[in-house]
Amino acid sequence: MRRIVSFLFLFLYFHVPASAHSTDTEINAVIDEMYLEIKIVSDHYQKQYKEAHNKIDKLNQDMMVAVLIEDKVSILILKDNLREELIRLKEEEMKDLSKIRYLKGVQIIRLLYEKILSLDHHFASVRTFSEINKIGNPNQYPEYEKLKDLLKNKKDKKTGVDLTSILGTNTIVSVVQTFSNMMVSSLSKEEKEKELANIECILDFTLRMQNDLNTIYFETAYLQNSNDKMKDDLEKLFIDYTKPIGYASSLETCRTTDDWESIRLKTVTYLAGLKEKNGPELYSSQVNIVFPIDRLLQYITQYNSFIDQGGKFYEKFKIILNSYENQKQCETKLPLEYKKLKDDIDVAIVKFNVAYKPIEVNGSKMKEILYGISEFD
């Protein structure tokens, strides 16, 4: 009866369509599912091991009281049969556990790829350098340009100097010239004070925050490059992961064509072929699908480190943007892009803590993924 129940479980799990599995479930949930499924299979085989060992113990007792040679030979034959049965059970258990771990690994790769692509989209949609430059450069503000034009018309034509196209875009040089022109312009004291009041928040904000804003831009670019590497590494891992079962398409192609069912079928075929193998050949074939799972676990560690780093970067960005000292006094004068950038960073922090959060794989679950060693054994 137990054999029938176990077979029914394995049949239902490995023969339902891929869409019926929790492919849209979070990775942690997939790992938890794998953990439970391995426990069910391990429990099934542990019962059979126990039954076989109990029979061997009983035969050992019978051997001690047996007198006739024929009875002793019969007992030895039965013990040899049971030992062979134990070897067969161990091989079957390894195949069943390998199937669970391998197919769950495919699910994890699939979900990881979606997260990496989502991150790629996130980084592509963050503030561009031109927008950062617009926030941090006073030359990009209409009020400041208006003052420059006014001073240009009021300056002394004989002593005034026009900046080149390069120096004109330099924040420090531009501000120094603007103040110099204001000092020697024909504007009255009241007019100068009025014009200065119109741009004081702009100048204060840009001069204080320009370097910090550039830091945000360049460190975001660094995170984007790191994400590109994560994507490349996962695509290479997928090739190595599916090579043993004879799957040749790339991860991108598999995702685009929704070809996940082919991987499942090839896995089933590959594992079924292990029945025809034994000894070193069987061991080598099993290693071929165990080693890629080791690589997957290493990638999960790499992913967790990247997500943890990304979250800390955005926490840092939030501190930087909130560090502007005169934010309250200049609130009405600050650019809308500044508020939008702060909102974007708040959203990014939530995403790194929720949507992209690190994968929870503790010590016992690592052993399950790699070797099928269960704490329930």
Q: What is the pLDDT of residue 170?
A: 67
Domain that residue 202 falls in: 137-207
How many whole angstroms from its chain centre is CA 289?
22
Co-location of 188 and 295 in the same domain: no
Q: Select, from the ranges 28-42, 168-182, 300-314, 360-374, the one with the highest average predicted confidence (pLDDT).
A: 300-314
Q: What number is the average pLDDT over the span 93-108?
A: 86
Co-location of 161 and 119 in the same domain: no
The 10s digit of each residue's pLDDT in 3-13 is: 433 443 443 33
Q: What is the pLDDT of residue 377?
A: 44
Co-location of 277 and 186 in the same domain: no
Whether residue 376 lies inside any domain: the answer is no
Co-location of 31 and 162 in the same domain: no
Whether residue 309 lies inside any domain: the answer is yes
Burial 186-219 (b: 16+ CB within 10 A, else e): ebeeeeeeebeeebebbbbbbeebbebbeebbee
- One-letter amino acid identity for 300? I
The whole-chain average pLDDT of the chain stands at: 81
The 10s digit of each residue's pLDDT in 124-145 is: 766 566 677 778 888 888 888 8
263 vs 186, higher pLDDT? 263
Whether residue 377 lies inside any domain: the answer is no
Q: What is the pLDDT of residue 155?
A: 62
pLDDT band at residue 178 using 50, 70 and 90 as cut-offs: confident
**Total domains in the fold of the chain:** 2
Co-location of 8 and 80 in the same domain: yes
132 vs 226, higher pLDDT? 226
Whether residue 91 lies inside any domain: the answer is yes
The 10s digit of each residue's pLDDT in 18-74 is: 333 333 357 888 888 887 888 888 889 999 999 999 999 999 998 898 888 998 899
The 10s digit of each residue's pLDDT in 248-276 is: 999 999 999 999 999 999 988 988 887 77
Whether residue 345 lies inside any domain: the answer is yes
Co-location of 66 and 194 in the same domain: no
Helix (H, G, I), strand (E, B) or coil at 244: coil
Co-location of 268 and 347 in the same domain: yes
Q: What number is the average pLDDT over the span 158-175?
A: 62
